[in-house]
Amino acid sequence: MNPLELEQMPPGFQDLALGSQTVFRGALQALSLPGRVFELPHPAAQLPDRGHSAAALLLLALLDSDCTLWLSPSLADSQAQAWLRFHTGCRCVSAPGAARFLWFGAADPWPALAQLDWGSDEYPDQAATCVIELPSLHDIQTAPLQLSGPGIEDGVHLHARGLPADFAAQWAANHAAFPRGVDAFLVAGRCISGLPRSTRLHHPLPTPLEP
């Protein structure tokens, strides 16, 4: 990174400890109540010029120098990669299966979940975590996914627009490997929804008819 790029690099959290803790608590809340949509707390920080703000803040709080990161093409070619490397010390990798964290841009193609690191029976905690940008988490015109599992009472319906058509099938295979399997955060703007590997996704329900 040359001196000019370094000078133009947006700063991260103004208060590193407070900012990281605030976002981390938001991430834990999302994972403990899967499928619920939360607005991620937004501590003072300047973000890169590409990517949803909640995705950037999540990774800024979760990454450190021991982490490997894969970014989808539009993010890998943007300021976002250098920003995360500078502020967290993470190492970027070119193969999705080699990454502990992955950031999927909203308009980019995704690697299949089966290609990612699902951890092992001995070390399931070493599985990958995906941060997945979507156009919306509140689109009532999108057929909802029904969620069940730990932390979910009476079922939760998630109106997440932009998921691949086979996402429920991919997630079913991921869930069946439990305690192995990836965890995910769905992100739209400043909103997040957690999908831990313990969560089951059921086939989309019929789209409600307009009155």
Tokens of 73: 């093409």
Here the tokens at position 115 are 């290609």
Structure tokens at 69: 């990161």
Interatomic CA distance for residues 64 and 25, integer angstroms: 17
pTM comes to 0.90
Helix, strand, or coil (residue 186): strand
Show me where the domains of the chain are located: 17-201
* Pairwise pLDDT comparison (165 vs 186), residue with the higher score: 186
| Average pLDDT of the chain, as a whole number | 89
Cβ distance 62 to 27 under 8 Å? yes
Dump pLDDT digits (tens) for 14-73. 888 888 999 999 999 999 999 999 999 877 677 888 899 999 999 999 999 999 999 999
For the structural domain made of 17-201, what CATH number should be given? 3.40.50.11310
Note the pLDDT of residue 81: 93
Task: Quickly tell me which residue has 């190492």 as its tokens.
Answer: 91
